[in-house]
Amino acid sequence: MNIYEDLKWRGLINQVSDEDKVREYLNTPGAVMYCGFDPTAESLHVGNLVPLLCLVRMKRAGHHPLYLMGGATGRIGDPSGKDKERDLSDPEVMETRLEKIKAQVRRFVERNTGDRPDIVNNYDWTKDMTAIELLRDVGKHFTVNWMLQKESVKGRIDRDDVGISYTEFSYMILQSYDFYHLYRTRKCRLQIGGGDQWGNITAGCEFIRRRTAIDGEQAEAFALTFPLLTTASGKKFGKSEKGAIYLNAEVTSPYAFYQYFYNTDDRDVIRFLKLFTFLGSDDVAAMEKEMEEAPHLRPAQKRLAEEVTRMIHGQHELDRVLAASEALFGTGDLRKVDPATLRAALESAPHRHYAPGDVPDIAQMLVDLGLVPSKGQARKDIKAGGVYLGGERVAENQELAETDFLGGDLLVLRKGKKNYGLVTRG
């Protein structure tokens, strides 16, 4: 299957400048394409997975994707999809973010292709450009009338309360120049991005056409965008109750990352298997059949969560997550679970911290955690065999032992089947 047809089957094509020509462009191995990532935060989020994965799909199909870091455009701010002006970030902060995102992209691409990514930074070719050069050599090819028709601009022009600064209005020109520069230096003729980038990308296509026409070449470049994702419930994809789901394990733990995808709605899971994994049509059809036969086992959600977690965090972290899940909700051994993963898994459970010399008995801990109303009730529950420490049933009058502390400072208490509490000391 041609990579274009694969993207189409996965539901990844929202808009394309010329379907026949893009398909033809992707028919020959070695085609060059790019997508830009501005360092607006210290980590990419799951919404960035669609373009990231598309570039990796291109690589696996024999093409040459470029990963553009927005060292220059990130200093300006993209108005696309924003209802107000971005705050300008400190250049040093931007550089720190950019390096972290580069490292994320590098790990992701190496893990999923076995090769190092071709990363470029638009600051490298814009930092020495003068204002006169930008206005004369680039701005001259854009009419304000035409720019005002772009959705990213129209949405703000029509709102007197926020408007749009000349800085953000000019973002389109910078992004167009990136496309032209990569065409000239890397023979790149395809730019991809989210649906909100259509205006910026097509502006680049038009700039390449006009600028190369001066040299008698009149080159043609192409645009391809992905749909903006929402869930079946109408919510924006990538948001949880605690905020965005990030690719950085220090911001969103691998356990929380896994659980986000495991909790995918039945109405979305087959679509997400196409969007976020490398599974082919036969595998997806098999998962759909398994889901129909045993929906209560959530086989499709489990496969989705495993595939994406492995893709982002690697097999080792996935194994830790699965071990924690099995220990907490199955028959696994809590003592064999990585303590950090266990903490992440029990993040929403009641938590109590004690100084090393102030750790009370088990009954008092149950009260402090809010798992029982009184020590009397705690003793009754322990006597009835309904309290567990580290996965083992607590005996009447049992005292804490040093070996009960997982990793030296962590206790996991459970009352009944599902009521967990986390105790730490130190």
pLDDT of residue 298: 94
pLDDT of residue 238: 85
- Which residues have a Cβ under 8 Å from the Cβ of 145 and sit 6 or more positions away? none
Q: Spelled out in words, what is the top-level CATH class assigned to the domain 351-425?
A: alpha beta
pLDDT of residue 23: 96
pLDDT of residue 240: 75
Per-residue pLDDT of the chain (426 residues; tens, 9 = 90+): 689 999 999 999 999 999 999 999 999 999 999 999 999 889 999 999 999 999 999 999 999 999 999 999 988 877 766 666 667 778 888 899 999 999 999 999 999 999 999 999 999 999 999 999 999 999 999 888 888 887 777 777 776 667 788 888 888 999 999 999 999 999 999 999 999 899 999 999 999 999 999 888 889 999 999 998 988 888 888 877 778 899 999 999 999 999 999 999 999 999 999 999 999 999 999 999 999 999 999 999 999 999 999 999 999 999 999 999 988 887 778 888 888 898 889 988 999 999 988 999 999 999 999 999 999 999 999 999 999 998 889 999 899 988 888 888 899 999 998 899 999 988
Count of Cβ atoms closer than 10 Å to residue 252 Cβ: 22
- Comparing CA positions, the residue from 186, 178, 191 lying closest to residue 30 is 186
Domain spans of the chain?
3-226, 239-345, 351-425
List % helix, strand, coil for the chain (3-state, nearest 5): 50, 15, 35
pTM of the model: 0.87
- CB-based contacts of 359-364 (< 8 A; 24+ apart in sequence): 359/400, 359/423, 359/425, 361/399, 361/400, 362/387, 362/389, 362/394, 362/398, 362/400, 362/413
- Show the tokens assigned to 292: 């129909």
pLDDT of residue 215: 82
pLDDT of residue 86: 66
Instruction: Looking at the structure, give the CATH architecture of the domain made up of residues 3-226.
Output: 3-Layer(aba) Sandwich (3.40)
Q: Are 196 and 229 in contact (CB under 8 A)?
A: no
Give the residues across from 69 on adjacent strands. Answer: 37, 121
pLDDT of residue 81: 61
CATH number of the structural domain 239-345: 1.10.240.10
> Would you give the distance in Å from CA 234 to the centre of its chain?
19
Backbone angles phi, psi at 116, to 5 degrees: -75, 140
pLDDT of residue 82: 66
